[in-house]
Amino acid sequence: MKRVYGTRKSVMESEEEEDTAVKCRERRRRRMAMRRMAAGAASSSRGGESLKRGVKTSGEPGVVLQTSSSTAAAAIMSLISIMETPQPPVYGMMSVIGRQREMEDEVSVRTNLCRPEINGFRPVHFFGVFDGHGGGHVSALCKENMHSIMEEELMRVKVIGDESDGGELWRTAINRCFERMDEMAVRLCLCGGLGTSSNICRCSPQLSFMGSTAVVSLLTKENIFVANCGDSRAVLCRNGRPIPLTVDHKPDREDERRRIEGCGGRIMFADGARVEGILAMSRAIGDRLLKQWVTSEPEILITRREEGDECLILASDGLWDVLSSELACKIVHECFSQNGSVAPRIQGDEGAMGEALYSSRSDSAATLLIRLALGRRSTDNISVIVIDLRK
């Protein structure tokens, strides 16, 4: 019997050794294939005729023709970056209807959205909060499409020299994304399609006054990019203290008032300052009939990440109307300060759509922020994203 058991054990050990050997051969084969691809790209650059460096394509600022050598370098860098698989950031998000009759808020998260050349072929993560007004159609449109448009704009940018350091190429791509999103929102109709600029659907007059705010963050290993259009906000918590990354676009803000009045618009007061007495914000996506005065151009802030960064909070005004940035950061800081990286799941907790909440500290922080806003009688929809920036 001992001999039989010994035979079985030796068979199992031989199978494990064989399996390990197969895996090692497979990994070695993949490495050799990637080296051959990189070598092929480099050899093609030596044999090809190079183009003049720095020639820009017409009509698209920041987009340049690549040389053959830069194409080879890009291929090699791309292969190297693919071998690196960094963990995506931990985040928590929650969105509730609150005391409103309709849900007009939307949130969008896309970790590892793309690996553009502008970021050295390393991952870019996308986070967005969209607060609709006049209905939820434009905010839903932003949730469905803005990340895809952002990916297209980032991936089409080609870098020459150290142009990526100044941030202008990033700004150009982000601005173009908001511009395209606004064009799509202006053409929106309720009959199931999108019109053209010369043939706008008139199926619902309500769409003429429908729009959405947009606060979007692009997160990289080195930087935090925040683009804001409207009165949703982004706040960075650094060493336990809040750093505002956005300023609300209100019609009575001095620079916004000058811009609107310079375009022939009026600021009228009806339950607060409003553009033409209608819209309580000076920038938004959509709002077809107010487009002459209400722009979709975002304000963009680029922030270098530091060791003391704890979290980034993106939220609609349903939160900020009743919570200060200081209190929000204090709540998240206390959640993160608890022992362990994972919070215990609270029985019965469910998201706005009925999904069970994840058990990360970021989820706990987002849940507590929502609960506190509801306890303070917030009258609006409330949407929050908490992104863990700790290393």
* Res 192 pLDDT > 90: no
Range with the poorest average pLDDT among 205-219, 295-309, 321-335, 338-352: 338-352
Measured CA to CA, the distance from residue 252 to residue 231 in angstroms comes to 13
Distance CA 361, CA 389 (A): 12
* Cβ atoms of 265 and 251 closer than 8 Å: no
Q: Is the pLDDT of residue 215 over 90?
A: yes
DSSP 279: B
Report the amino acid identity of residue 145: N
Q: Give which of 377, 352, 357 is closest to 95, Cα–Cα.
A: 352
Q: What's the mean pLDDT in 109-129?
A: 96
What topology does CATH give the domain 91-249+284-388? Phosphatase 2c; domain 1 (3.60.40)
List the domain boundaries for the chain. Answer: 24-83, 91-249+284-388
* Max mean pLDDT range (21-30, 51-60, 266-275): 266-275
Residue, of 261 and 45, whose pLDDT is higher: 261
62-76: pLDDT as tens digits? 444 343 455 555 555
Beta pairing, strands 241-244 & 233-238: antiparallel
The string of pLDDT tens digits covering residues 1-28 is 444 444 444 444 444 555 566 556 666 6
Q: Kindly report, residue by residue over 364-382, the tens digit of the pLDDT.
A: 999 999 999 999 999 999 9
| Pure H helices in the chain | 2-47, 68-83, 137-155, 168-186, 254-262, 317-320, 325-337, 361-375
The 10 Å CB-count burial string (b at 16+, else e) for 48-57 is: eeeeeeeeee
Residue 187: pLDDT band by 50, 70, 90 thresholds? Answer: confident
Q: What is the mean predicted confidence (pLDDT) over 315-342?
A: 88
